[in-house]
Structures are given as C-alpha cells and as structure tokens.
Amino acid sequence: MTATHSDTNANTQTTTTDNAAMTANTATQNTATATDSPAPLPQPSRRLLDAIFDYQPTTAAINALTPSKAQEKLTTARADYLDKRERLRQAREELDRIEKTVSAAEAQEQQASQSWRRAFLEGAGKQGKEVRDQQKQAGQWRIEAEQKREMIELLKPQVEWLQIETQVAREQFQRSLKATREVISHHSLLAEAEKLFEGLDSDHFRAALKGLFQRITDDLCNNVVYMAQYNLDVSSEPGEAIFSHLNNEQTRAVRHEIRKRQYAALGELVWHLMPKTQTEQPDTLKGITPLACEAGKGELGNTIRRRRRQLELEATMEYVPGKTQH
C-alpha cells in the first residue's frame, strides 16, 4: 500500500507542477500538421488593392492586415490554443483518475471495516490476527483516500484555471481565424479575378458587356413605374433622353441605380458560370473542434468575470503554470 501511494503521489506531483515539457511535442505536431504545406498567398496588383469598391464590404482585418501578417498571427494563436488545451486535457484526465482512485479506496476501506467488525463479533470480542489485519487494511485505505482527496483539492483550482486560459486562447484563435479568412478571401478574389481577365479576349468581352450595360440603362430609363416617382411619363421610351428632364440630384440617383443593376447583372452572369461544387477550406483556415474538457460557450462569463476568477484561483494555488518560479 505505502509504495503504491508514493508512486502515485510522485506521478501526480509531476502533473500538477508543470505540463509544459509533456505538451510541447503534441502542440508542435498539431501545428505542423496544419502548416506543413501552406498554399501560396494571393498577390493582387496594387491597382486593385487601392481601388474603392462600393459593393464589397471590407472589415477591420482587411484594412489592417496583409495575408502573410494575418497568417502569422493565426499560426501563433493556433499554437498557443493547442498548447493550453493540451495542458488542460492532461490535468483534467489526471483529476478524473485520482477521483476514481478515491472511490476505489473508500470502497476498499468500507469492505475491510465490515470484515474486521464481523470477525470481531463472530469471535466473541477476541482480537485475533484476522481482526488486526483487517483493521490495518481499513486504516491504510482510509489514509490512501485522504491523501487522494488532498491531491484533488490541490488540482481542482489548476484545472479550472487552465479552463479559463484555454477559453481565452480559443477565442483569440477564433478571432484570428476569422480575420485570416476575411483577408485571404478578399485578396484571393482580387488576384484570381485579375488572372481570369488576363486570359480573356477582353476586347470582345468589353464590347458585349457594353451592350448589356446599355440595355440596363435603357430599361430603367423607360421604366414607367420607376420614373413615376419623378412625375415623368416614359411610355414613349425616350431612353437616356430622360436625363434632360431630371435635376442634378435626380440624375445622380438614377445613374446610381443603373450602376447597381449593371453590377448585379455582371454578378449574376458570374454566378451562373461558377461551378456549384463546394470547395474545401485549406487546412490552415479550418477551425478546431473543442475538447470535452473545455468550457462551453458563455460558461465562464465575460472577460472581466473570468479574469477576476483567475485571480481568486491564483490566490489559492500553490503552483500557477507558467507563473510560479521553480
């Protein structure tokens, strides 16, 4: 019994003191899997990067980051998240193992206690060898259970602390992933569109497009219902001649509407030409399914609440991973 307890105690101490060395290889391997062969980053021309698009929404990430910088931030965030959740996984598994050991020790203690009591009564109060052996075993199992409960009380705050650390790292990873997807998607669209149009017989395409855009212009200018808002009768289908009857503000509004419809028609054409098969995200832009030991969404509260709880836990912990000096 004593030797078993000492071995267990030593193993538990190793887990509760520092998991960094045990998890470094796992985190590195997980990160390497996603980044061994990264796809070449898109490189659109400056002409398109500096263009002002009216109908392409941009985000803070698109405005602030290049694809390479976004990818760099994502790689760092992924590695940090994988490292912290691996620490959590190991600590949680160790806590579960110790809790099972406590249950087993308590059951053994109860069985030994029942055995010596029965032997004691059957022997009419005599304290024979069987009684003494069973009493000794019950005491050993009681000590074993108490020691394991002490380990649980030491490890529980660390597990909760690691849950918070992992949740913070996961949220940072998710933000970085979203930003990287936005940046790479935007730059890829511009770069691929450039390559697409470089390979076209652009003169013929522009001529055909000019005809489409003129039809859209005439269609709106001759739209009886639309032009009624300006108190104009276009039943004679005057086409662009109608602009002579509009003031500057009305002309701007109509031309803006024409442009929107031209863009929509071009987008509709592209949409019908696009393959309808789904395209898989590159490994570097895929999310990571959380482990069962991680906290659920919203479970740990907001940033302020989590930080307050972390400080409370640190005040009770004999060892804080990454902070306590050896």
Tens digit of pLDDT for each residue in 139-174?
A: 888 888 888 888 888 899 999 999 999 999 999 999
Query: How many Cβ atoms from other residues are within 10 Å of residue 195's Cβ?
Result: 11
Is 129 a residue whose pLDDT tops 90? no
**pLDDT score for 200:** 65
> CB of 224 within 8 A of CB of 235?
yes
**pLDDT score for 273:** 85
Burial label, 104 (beta-carbon count in 10 A; 0-12, 13-18, 19+): middle
> CB of 8 within 8 A of CB of 101?
yes
Question: Closest Cα to residue 14, out of 104, 90, 97?
Answer: 90
Tens digit of pLDDT for each residue in 235-261?
A: 999 999 999 999 999 999 999 999 999
> CB of 161 within 8 A of CB of 317?
yes
Distance of CA 20 to the CA centre of its chain: 22
Give the confidence band of 28 by pLDDT, cuts at 50, 70, 90.
Answer: very low
| Span 224-240, average pLDDT | 94
Query: How many Cβ atoms from other residues are within 10 Å of residue 145's Cβ?
Result: 19
Of the listed ranges 74-78, 174-178, 202-206, the least confidently predicted one is: 202-206
- Residue with the larger pLDDT of the pair 304 and 126: 304
**pLDDT score for 326:** 62
Give the confidence band of 195 by pLDDT, cuts at 50, 70, 90.
Answer: confident
**pLDDT score for 55:** 84
| Span 211-217, average pLDDT | 94
Instruction: Give the C-alpha separation, 64 to 50, whole Å.
Output: 13
Its pTM surpasses 0.75: no
DSSP assignment, residue 157?
Answer: H
Question: Closest Cα to residue 270, out of 180, 204, 205, 186?
Answer: 205
| CA distances to 11, 64, 93, 303 from 322, in Å | 19, 32, 20, 20
> CB of 134 within 8 A of CB of 115?
yes
**pLDDT score for 32:** 40
Sign of the dihedral defined by the CA atoms of residues 315, 321, 322, 326, in that order: positive
Residue the block writes with tokens 């529980």: 156
Of the listed ranges 67-81, 94-108, 192-206, 250-264, the least confidently predicted one is: 192-206
Query: How many Cβ atoms from other residues are within 10 Å of residue 12's Cβ?
Result: 21
